[in-house]
Structure 1
Amino acid sequence: MNIDSSLQSKRILSIDILRGIVMIIMALDHTRDFFHIGAMTANPLDPQTTTGILFFTRWITHFCAPIFVFLSGLSAYLSSQHKTPAKASIFLFKRGTWLIVVEIVIISLGLTFNPFYNFVILQVIWVIGWSMIFLGFMSRISHKAVLIIGLIIVFGHNIFNLFPPPEGEGLALLLKVFFTAFGTVVPLNQDHLLGVFYAILPWTGIMFLGYGIGAWYKQGFSAEIRKQNLMITGSLTIFLFLFLRCINLYGDPAPRKEYDDLFKNLLSFFNVSKYPPSLQYTAMTIGTAMLFLAFTEKMSNWFSRVTSVYGAVPFFYYVIHFYLLHTILVIAFYATGFTNEQIVQVPFWFRPSDFGFSLTTVYVIWIAVIIALYLPCKWFKKYKETHKQWWLRYV
Structure 2
Amino acid sequence: MAKMSSSIQRNRIRSIDMMRGLVMLIMLIDHVRERFFLHLQVSDPMDIDTTSPSLFFTRLAAHYCAPTFVFLTGLSAWLYANPMNSANKAKPTRNVREFLIKRGLFILFLEVTFITFSWGASFQTLYLQVMWAIGISMIALAVLSYLPRTLLLILGLLIVFGHNALTPISYVPHETGYTLWTMLHDRGYILQSAALNIKVSYPVLPWIGVILLGYACGPLYSQQLDKARRGRWLLGLFAVSLSLFFLLRGLNIYGETLPWELQQSAITTLMSLLNLTKYPPSLAFLVFTLAGMFLLLFAFERVKDTQFAFLDTFGSVPMFFYILHLYVLLVMYGIAFFIWGANKGKYVGVDHIWQIWLIAAGLSLVLYFPVKWFSAYKSKHHAPWLKYL
TM-score scaled by structure 1?
0.89
In the other structure, the counterpart of 1:96 is 104
In the other structure, the counterpart of 1:278 is 282
Distance (Å, rounded) in 2 between the aligned partners of 1:364 and 1:33:
14
Local SS of the residue matching 2:313: helix
In the other structure, the counterpart of 1:229 is 233
Which stretch shifts more, 360-369 or 20-29? Answer: 360-369
Distance (Å, rounded) in 1 between the aligned partners of 2:140 and 2:358:
40
The Cα offsets for residues 80-111 of structure 1, whole Å up to 9 and x where unpaired, read as 11386672111111111111111001111111
1:170 partnered with 2:176: yes
* Aligned sequence identity (%): 34
Q: Could you say if the C-alpha distance between residues 41 and 246 of structure 1 is closer, same or farther in structure 2, counting changes exceeding 3 Å?
A: closer
Contact 1:325/1:369, CA 8 A, preserved across alignment? no
In the other structure, the counterpart of 2:263 is 259
Q: Could you say if the C-alpha distance between residues 282 and 8 of structure 1 is closer, same or farther in structure 2, counting changes exceeding 3 Å?
A: farther
CA shift, 1:360, in A, is 2.9
1:144 partnered with 2:150: yes
Contact 2:341/2:348, CA 8 A, preserved across alignment? no
Q: Could you say if the C-alpha distance between residues 126 and 232 of structure 1 is closer, same or farther in structure 2, counting changes exceeding 3 Å?
A: same
Distance (Å, rounded) in 2 between the aligned partners of 1:232 and 1:337:
52
Contact 2:70/2:134, CA 8 A, preserved across alignment? yes
In the other structure, the counterpart of 2:358 is 364
Distance (Å, rounded) in 2 between the aligned partners of 1:6 and 1:81:
15
In the other structure, the counterpart of 2:46 is 45
Which stretch shifts more, 15-24 or 290-299? Answer: 290-299
Distance (Å, rounded) in 2 between the aligned partners of 1:231 and 1:64:
20
Which stretch shifts more, 298-307 or 128-137? Answer: 298-307
Contact 1:17/1:311, CA 8 A, preserved across alignment? yes
Residue pairs, 1:184-199, within 5 angstroms:
184-187=188-191, 189-199=193-203
Q: Which of the residues 127, 132, 136 maps onto 1:126?
A: 132
Distance (Å, rounded) in 2 between the aligned partners of 1:135 and 1:277:
19
CA shift, 1:39, in A, is 3.4
Contact 2:182/2:190, CA 8 A, preserved across alignment? no
Local SS of the residue matching 2:308: helix
Q: Could you say if the C-alpha distance between residues 41 and 336 of structure 1 is closer, same or farther in structure 2, counting changes exceeding 3 Å?
A: farther
Local SS of the residue matching 2:225: coil
Contact 2:24/2:315, CA 8 A, preserved across alignment? yes
Contact 2:20/2:315, CA 8 A, preserved across alignment? yes
CA shift, 1:121, in A, is 1.0
Q: Could you say if the C-alpha distance between residues 42 and 249 of structure 1 is closer, same or farther in structure 2, counting changes exceeding 3 Å?
A: closer
CA shift, 1:158, in A, is 0.3
1:313 partnered with 2:317: yes
Distance (Å, rounded) in 2 between the aligned partners of 1:329 and 1:158:
38
Residue pairs, 1:1-395, within 5 angstroms:
3=1, 5=2, 10-11=9-10, 12=12, 13-36=14-37, 38-40=39-41, 45-82=46-83, 87-114=95-122, 117-161=123-167, 163-166=168-171, 169-181=175-187, 184-187=188-191, 189-300=193-304, 302-338=306-342, 353-358=346-351, 359-395=353-389
CA shift, 1:303, in A, is 4.0
Distance (Å, rounded) in 1 between the aligned partners of 2:211 and 2:348:
37
Local SS of the residue matching 1:250: coil
Distance (Å, rounded) in 2 between the aligned partners of 1:317 and 1:281:
26
Q: Could you say if the C-alpha distance between residues 165 and 42 of structure 1 is closer, same or farther in structure 2, counting changes exceeding 3 Å?
A: closer
Contact 1:32/1:39, CA 8 A, preserved across alignment? no
**Cα RMSD over matched residues?**
2.2
CA shift, 1:45, in A, is 3.2
Distance (Å, rounded) in 2 between the aligned partners of 1:338 and 1:292:
40
Contact 1:88/1:136, CA 8 A, preserved across alignment? yes
The number of residue pairs the alignment matches comes to 376
Distance (Å, rounded) in 1 between the aligned partners of 2:288 and 2:44:
21
Which ranges of structure 1 fall in alignment gaps of 5 or more residues? 340-350
Contact 2:164/2:282, CA 8 A, preserved across alignment? yes
Q: Could you say if the C-alpha distance between residues 42 and 245 of structure 1 is closer, same or farther in structure 2, counting changes exceeding 3 Å?
A: closer
Distance (Å, rounded) in 2 between the aligned partners of 1:8 and 1:380:
22
The Cα offsets for residues 154-173 of structure 1, whole Å up to 9 and x where unpaired, read as 00000012x24246713133
CA shift, 1:144, in A, is 1.8
Distance (Å, rounded) in 1 between the aligned partners of 2:217 and 2:30:
28
Distance (Å, rounded) in 2 between the aligned partners of 1:328 and 1:86:
43
